[in-house]
Amino acid sequence: MSTGLIPRHELEFQLYEVLDTEGLLNRPRFADHSRETFDSAIETARRIAADKLQPHNRKGDVEEPRIENGKVRIIPEVKAALAAIAEAGFLAAHHDYDSGGSQLPWAVAQACHAQFHAANVATFAYGFLTAAAANLLETYGTEEQKRLYRTPMIEGRFFGTMAMSEPNAGSSLGDVRTRAEPAGDGSYRLSGTKMWISGGEHEMAENIVHLVLARVKGAPAGVKGLSLFLVPRYRLDADGRPAEPNDVALAGLNHKMGFRGTVNTLLAFGEGGDCRGWLVGPENKGLACMFHMMNEARIIIGMCAAAMGYAGFEVSLDYARNRPQGRPVDAKDPDGPPVAIVEHPDVKRMLLAQKAYTEGALALGFYLAALVDDQKTAPEPRRREEALLLLDLLTPVMKAWSADYGLAANQLAIQVLGGYGYTREYPVEQFYRDNRLNPIHEGTNGIQALDLLGRKVGMNGGEAFRLLLGEIHATAHQAEFDASLAGYGKALRGAATVAAEATGILLDARRSSGAAAALCNATAYLDMVGHLVIGWMWLRQALAAKSASPHHQGKRHACAWFFLWELPKIHSLARVLINLDTTAAVMEDAWF
Amino acid sequence: MSTGLIPRHELEFQLYEVLDTEGLLNRPRFADHSRETFDSAIETARRIAADKLQPHNRKGDVEEPRIENGKVRIIPEVKAALAAIAEAGFLAAHHDYDSGGSQLPWAVAQACHAQFHAANVATFAYGFLTAAAANLLETYGTEEQKRLYRTPMIEGRFFGTMAMSEPNAGSSLGDVRTRAEPAGDGSYRLSGTKMWISGGEHEMAENIVHLVLARVKGAPAGVKGLSLFLVPRYRLDADGRPAEPNDVALAGLNHKMGFRGTVNTLLAFGEGGDCRGWLVGPENKGLACMFHMMNEARIIIGMCAAAMGYAGFEVSLDYARNRPQGRPVDAKDPDGPPVAIVEHPDVKRMLLAQKAYTEGALALGFYLAALVDDQKTAPEPRRREEALLLLDLLTPVMKAWSADYGLAANQLAIQVLGGYGYTREYPVEQFYRDNRLNPIHEGTNGIQALDLLGRKVGMNGGEAFRLLLGEIHATAHQAEFDASLAGYGKALRGAATVAAEATGILLDARRSSGAAAALCNATAYLDMVGHLVIGWMWLRQALAAKSASPHHQGKRHACAWFFLWELPKIHSLARVLINLDTTAAVMEDAWF
């Protein structure tokens, strides 16, 4: 059976044919690298994914973390896999050499991580949370915090979490109640309860470093009074070794439908009155710091949803190629030999849709990863600024669109396998359960939509959105020089124009008639922009797929499918958005 | 917390306000009934659903059927609930008094069953399979078969199954290999293996009556050589009591993602060379007989998907009303009191979509149930014919559309609950897992689409489809007399016209250029027709909802939402269908 990993030629296509990842080698930061070192990192990641992660994907689901004698017990394969990942340097692949990293481009690091997501998302979650937390400390931590905490994190000795939500504060972070009081020695005493903390408690690491949002006594109400604290499970002794417990108590485990291998916890901080935390970044600027981690996490969640979608695509493709059933619809002889179901048009449709969704989302993920690299290392300052603008704008799109359509892909994967796909003997039902988390965590998709329409498209006078439209029109223009793609160029241009019109009307309405009417269809707006961006990604891929190779033919064909069956959605959605429809908003509770 | 059952006012609205179920009382068959006897049956069903089915819905999922000492062990609550259902007469509610039934209209029986589906689909599955098998015997069985098998089935002493699929013959029934050889005494010796048999083995009934598709030695190849056999788990003694085992062996259990409470089996018939079956209906006409059961089952699966969608809607509505989180988007004070999330437009959207999908599907289910009643009891022969035509046409739409959108509703229910919805502490994740089966079983949705486009719309020279269009235009016409609904009438007329155009082109193409090109987008075609039919159902509901009651206001509002956000899909789909697009069909295997 198929491994369900992302084929190497797909990753290479995204990095080297659609994007110019090799061009990064001209930048000083990547001077020691070469195409060979990139490929070797990707190949190492593939080996770890296949050998260390995938074999226990099902086991981690069936034998989910549980409490035994007060300790969280997790199957040993998880720790072993994470050790292999850390040892190979994948938790800090893009960090500075000085900080223990390998200075790989973020895009290459994501190509490595995508394979971990596809192989075993629940196990790698401990890794990417730790990497994201380490990254946050790299940016906002003091030198001491970096030395004492970040270094052991990228070495895989300490793990990291982000602790924001509380039982009564999920989407509404302004209602966070966890308190912090200065202890007089530079540290703070924390007290409060945090909910939904992934990786919040286990015995796999020497220490767990929680990044906790809390409110310093006397701070303003709402999100403007939140500060970020580093709260270790164990305090460190003079030599930096974990020593006495830091009054962080496990208050319970959440039992999820999927993503079961990642322990999810309710944590009580400071029940004994002696939980110490150290401020990260300035007081009352905690949310801004946390967003550094969250933005990274949101792109990663999108990649993760795409990769899991891809895994299901691969498994269902393999099944379809090997399952004989039925005959072509024109065949007359009921005794004739059956064909593999991949020959049936409806099965091809389900495979093509999976390909269009997951490779579209992957392309966007790698595009964003390249923006991260540009933002940090592009020689021209203007390009760095542009990269940051596009990154801010597209992060919520990547997170939400990819989560929705990665899941849609997994749903189709089950359908291709039919009854078999519905059984736990095949992996697709687990992908479908695991992937269902992605529209929920790291900010629900509804929150992403509000972020996009309520904040991002209007920021800096709409500069980021104009920039995006410019890039889209540039691709459309390029396509118009290629006879076979000119029609798609025109269609993309038309879609961009109508999306721009809807955007303008919504932004105007927001200024004139208040936020409520403009924002009430934010989800539909994100779906529209998402389809526009993914249509653009498909045209970019088609432009890069000029050869007669089967892989390139498939790319052009999937582009055609997306433009024909999916792109028109932009026009239907825009029509309703342009009318500032309030049908959902004015529905009264009593009418349900 | 909400019970998750379908509110009584909703069932009454469908039966008495949208449909004229009371009008059936004028027909001789229902002369002994009254509105009171209908309502009392519905109320009894609700009590059984709440008291006997719902309490073990989660338990049946967690403690799924397993083999212990060679026997299938099922939690005892299942048997007790089924006994209560049978005892109250719900397995034969619409059967003749003479046959032990209560001669209730099918529509009323479905209102009762819908509550069982919503409360515990996995337990009631044993019941509806038994009822459907009993119904088949009522139509095609000999008097002896009815007496010996059907009567104990409707009394809940024997259970029934349908045994069609085999490990290598799922969608392709023409490849069924199970053999039957005349034994010389009127019975046949069966041998073969059947896969995916729900309720195939357990100890809850005195006997299990398998309805088995098999091929009599020398029969033609393909579906034209299939015959239907009654194969009991135990043969009956002279007094009709189950006696010696009939060589039907459990070869394994399938472990599913959801619907776990319904044991699903692999069965070996005649491994010991002595499995006896008795022909039901004529030799080589087995599939036609089985379709009697399947067509009923397909409508029921659609009802079941709608009811489970409804259960999720109710639970998420209740949650949304009771979960405080965030503030209105215009509120400035971060310390102001939070609102219940039902006040947020995006949450209203998710609730409204669930309402539109599930009440639309329920309305279609009840419409079909009323057609079943008309087909059997309408005074005018022409109406009976019309009812049969519409029933044949709309059965695949009901099954597939309802399964797709009932599941979409459950996905939204999880999203409303956020992280909580993803945990096993709330019931919505189970609805989502359970409902995922519905697009697969009783003929996958792809098979339904081929049935609709390849067979149903063209049958009798397109008579059924013309009839449907006539009914739709009649409703549109009626709406045009109501100022507030006239716009929807016009929109429905436009949608019907474009759907008719696409249908004509596809049927022409089928005649001129072969089936392949015409049928390759059958799924999109079903989606288009489904949206047309559900739009029609919504306009029928809006027309019936004339009062100022909150329930009626909600109906009109959900109609508005469906017409605005969903109906336009018909036009996008029709555009591609009309061009006889073959993008998916011409995709080559190697290009994936």
Residues of chain A with Cβ-Cβ distance to B590 below 8 Å are: 550, 554
Q: Determine, yes or no, domain membership for B421.
A: no
- Among chain B residues, the shortest Cα distance to A408 is held by B408
pLDDT in tens, B259-268: 999 999 999 9
Same domain, B591 and B452: yes
User: 């990819």: which residue's tokens?
Assistant: A402
Same domain, B13 and B134: yes
Nearest CA among B394, B408, B174, B145 for reference residue B280: B145
- Among chain A residues, the shortest Cα distance to B343 is held by A589
CB B553 within 8 A of CB A588: yes
Query: What pLDDT was estimated at residue B513?
Result: 77
Amino acid letter for position B160: G
Q: Determine, yes or no, domain membership for B236.
A: yes
Instruction: For strands A226-232 and A242-245, give the pairing.
Output: unpaired
Nearest CA among A130, A196, A117 for reference residue A444: A196
Radius of gyration of chain A (CA): 24
Mean pLDDT score, B473-487: 97
Number of domains in chain A: 3
Distance CA A497, CA A502 (A): 9
Indicate the pTM of the whole model.
0.98
Name the percent of chain A lying above pLDDT 90: 94
User: 């946390």: which residue's tokens?
Assistant: A290
Residues of chain B with Cβ-Cβ distance to A575 below 8 Å are: 568
Distances (CA, A) of B39 to B15, B300, B371, B441: 10, 21, 20, 32
Query: What pLDDT was estimated at residue B293?
Result: 80
Same domain, B275 and B165: yes
Distance CA B419, CA A165 (A): 10
Q: What is this model's ipTM? A: 0.97
Residues of chain B with Cβ-Cβ distance to A343 below 8 Å are: 589
Residues of chain B with Cβ-Cβ distance to A592 below 8 Å are: 317, 342, 351-352, 355, 554
Distance CA A37, CA A45 (A): 12
Whether B380 contacts chain A with CB within 8 A: no
Distance CA A380, CA B372 (A): 72
Helices (DSSP H) in A336-442: which residue ranges? 345-377, 381-417, 428-435
Of B418, B521, B585, the CB nearest to A444: B418
Phi-psi region of A6 (alpha: psi -120 to 50; beta: other; left: phi over 0): beta
Query: What pLDDT was estimated at residue B3?
Result: 66
Distance CA A65, CA A49 (A): 21
Answer whether A440 sits within 8 Å of B175, measured CB to CB. Answer: no
Phi, psi at B484, each rounded to 5°: -75, -15
Q: How far is the alpha carbon of B424 from chain A, nearest alpha carbon, in Å?
A: 6
Query: What pLDDT was estimated at residue B173?
Result: 93
CB B435 within 8 A of CB B308: yes
Query: What pLDDT was estimated at residue A3?
Result: 66
Mean pLDDT score, A73-97: 97
Same domain, B134 and B169: no
Q: Determine, yes or no, domain membership for A103.
A: yes
CB A179 within 8 A of CB A141: no
Query: What pLDDT was estimated at residue B2?
Result: 58
Structural domain including A189 reads: 159-282
CB A543 within 8 A of CB A483: no
Per-window interface: B 20-39 vs A, CB < 8 A: none
3-class secondary-structure state, position A280: strand
DSSP strands (E only) in A172-312? 179-182, 188-198, 207-216, 226-232, 234-236, 242-245, 248-253, 264-269, 275-280
3-class secondary-structure state, position A348: helix
Q: Determine, yes or no, domain membership for A100.
A: yes
In the predicted structure, residue A190 carries a pLDDT above the cut 60: yes
CATH number, domain containing residue B82: 1.10.540.10
Q: How far is the alpha carbon of A45 from chain B, nearest alpha carbon, in Å?
A: 23
pLDDT in tens, A439-497: 999 999 999 999 999 999 999 999 999 999 999 999 999 999 999 999 999 999 999 99
In the predicted structure, residue A2 carries a pLDDT above the cut 80: no
Nearest CA among A413, A416, A394 for reference residue A405: A413
Q: Determine, yes or no, domain membership for A523.
A: yes
Q: Which one of B64, B201, B442, B566 is the catalytic residue?
A: B442
Same domain, A39 and A170: no
CB A283 within 8 A of CB A100: no
In the predicted structure, residue B72 carries a pLDDT above the cut 60: yes
Of B255, B344, B589, the CB nearest to A423: B255
Same domain, B148 and B180: no
Of A224, A340, A561, the CB nearest to B584: A561
Length of chain A: 592
Answer whether B418 sits within 8 Å of A171, measured CB to CB. Answer: yes
Q: How far is the alpha carbon of B71 from chain A, nearest alpha carbon, in Å?
A: 21
Q: In the A/B pair of chains, how many CB contacts fall below 8 A?
A: 271
CB A429 within 8 A of CB A411: no
Show which of A282, A305, A330 is a domain's final residue.
A282
Whether A334 contacts chain B with CB within 8 A: yes
Query: What pLDDT was estimated at residue B333?
Result: 85
Same domain, B105 and B191: no
Mean pLDDT score, A379-392: 97
pLDDT in tens, A494-541: 999 999 999 999 999 988 877 788 899 999 999 999 999 999 999 999
Answer whether B347 sits within 8 Å of A446, measured CB to CB. Answer: yes
Per-window interface: B 222-241 vs A, CB < 8 A: 222-224
Of A522, A554, A581, the CB nearest to B346: A522
Distances (CA, A) of B376 to B379, B381, B383, B391, B471: 9, 10, 10, 12, 20
Distance CA A262, CA A537 (A): 32
Same domain, A128 and A253: no
Of A257, A554, A575, the CB nearest to B422: A257
Answer whether B256 sits within 8 Å of A317, measured CB to CB. Answer: no
3-class secondary-structure state, position A141: coil
CB A136 within 8 A of CB A211: yes
pLDDT in tens, A293-349: 888 899 999 999 999 999 999 999 999 999 999 999 888 788 899 999 999 999 999
CB B62 within 8 A of CB B26: no
Question: What is the DSSP secondary-structure string of B518-562?
Answer: HHTTHHHHHHHHHHHHHHHHHHHHHHH--SSSHHHHHHHHHHHHI
Answer whether B257 sits within 8 Å of A328, measured CB to CB. Answer: no
Q: Determine, yes or no, domain membership for B305.
A: no
CATH number, domain containing residue A258: 2.40.110.20
Phi-psi region of B252 (alpha: psi -120 to 50; beta: other; left: phi over 0): left
Query: What pLDDT was estimated at residue A518?
Result: 87
Amino acid letter for position A6: I
Give me A118's structure tokens: 């596809």
DSSP strands (E only) in B481-526? none
Distances (CA, A) of A128 to A360, B77, B139: 22, 44, 61
Residues of chain A with Cβ-Cβ distance to B415 below 8 Å are: 439-440, 444-446
pLDDT in tens, B83-111: 999 999 999 999 999 999 999 999 999 99
Residue to mutate among B176, B257, B359, B437, with most A CBs inside 10 A, is B257
Q: Determine, yes or no, domain membership for A147.
A: yes
CB B155 within 8 A of CB B127: no
Instruction: For strands B179-182 and B207-216, give the pairing.
Output: parallel
Same domain, A581 and A456: yes
User: 């990663």: which residue's tokens?
Assistant: A300
Distances (CA, A) of A505 to A523, A524, B417: 16, 14, 32
Same domain, B212 and B96: no
Answer whether B352 sits within 8 Å of A521, measured CB to CB. Answer: no
Mean pLDDT score, A250-260: 97
Query: What pLDDT was estimated at residue B486?
Result: 97
Q: How far is the alpha carbon of B391 from chain A, nearest alpha carbon, in Å?
A: 25
Per-window interface: A 400-459 vs B, CB < 8 A: 411, 414-415, 418-419, 421-425, 429, 432-433, 436-437, 439-441, 444-446, 449-450, 454
Q: Who's near B265: CB < 8 A, 6+ residues apart?
A: B72, B197, B198, B200, B201, B250, B251, B252, B253, B254
Give me B352's structure tokens: 């409204």
Same domain, A581 and A448: yes
3-class secondary-structure state, position B373: helix
The catalytic residue positions of A are: 442
DSSP state of A443: S
Show which of B154, B179, B198 is a domain's final residue.
B154
Whether A337 contacts chain B with CB within 8 A: no
Q: Who's near A470: CB < 8 A, 6+ residues apart?
A: none
Residues of chain B with Cβ-Cβ distance to A258 below 8 Å are: 422
Distance CA A363, CA B110 (A): 48
DSSP state of A395: H
- Among chain A residues, the shortest Cα distance to B440 is held by A418
Q: Who's near B546: CB < 8 A, 6+ residues apart?
A: B552
Same domain, A25 and A122: yes
Answer whether A195 sits within 8 Å of B553, measured CB to CB. Answer: no
Query: What pLDDT was estimated at residue A512?
Result: 86
Distance CA A320, CA A531 (A): 28
Q: Determine, yes or no, domain membership for A400.
A: no
Distance CA B194, CA B174 (A): 14
Residues of chain A with Cβ-Cβ distance to B418 below 8 Å are: 170-171, 440, 444
Of A450, A576, A591, the CB nearest to B565: A576
Sign of the CA dihedral with B231 first, then B232, B237, and B240 last: negative
Answer whether B557 sits within 8 Å of A343, measured CB to CB. Answer: no
Show which of A119, A154, A189 is a domain's final residue.
A154
Answer whether A349 sits within 8 Å of B584, measured CB to CB. Answer: yes
pLDDT category at B515 given cuts 50, 70, 90 is: confident
